[in-house]
């Protein structure tokens, strides 16, 4: 379960940010999660709810998850397409010479704090 490790890293990063910026309370964290990141969002939220109680600055915070759609690029025809719908093979030219443009990342987009 790598969700727990990601939440621990996120909490540590937020603790450090709070200390650097002299924040006393974080009210909301908006996290962008790639569609093919492998993060199970329900499990991630459960881990967040468990760990936020162990960090004073996060104890009353809200976690908002936004999905980043997965997009793949085809080297052969230079087109892009929805990764989840079509997989590794380009739906236009049927080439397998493709690579993921976006959709595997996990990014802190926004922090609301006092």
Architecture label for domain 2-113: 2-Layer Sandwich (3.30)
Model confidence, pTM: 0.85
Domain ranges of the chain: 2-113
Residues of the chain with confidence (pLDDT) below 70:
1
Phi-psi category of residue 103: left, alpha or beta, with phi > 0 → left and psi -120 to 50 → alpha = left
Residue pLDDT, tens place only, 16-49? 999 999 999 999 999 999 999 999 999 999 999 9
Q: What pLDDT score was predicted for residue 114?
A: 85
Q: What pLDDT score was predicted for residue 1?
A: 54
């Amino acid at each position: 379960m790598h969700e727990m490790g990601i939440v621990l890293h996120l909490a540590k990063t937020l603790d450090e940010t709070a200390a650097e910026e002299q924040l006393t309370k974080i009210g909301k964290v908006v996290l962008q999660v790639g569609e093919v990141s492998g993060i199970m969002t329900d499990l991630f939220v459960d881990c967040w709810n468990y760990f936020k109680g162990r960090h004073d600055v996060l104890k009353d915070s809200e976690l908002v998850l936004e999905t980043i759609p997965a997009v793949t690029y085809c080297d052969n025809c230079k087109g892009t397409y929805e990764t989840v719908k079509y997989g590794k093979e380009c739906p236009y030219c049927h080439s397998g010479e493709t690579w993921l443009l976006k959709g595997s990342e996990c990014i802190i987009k926004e922090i609301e704090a006092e």
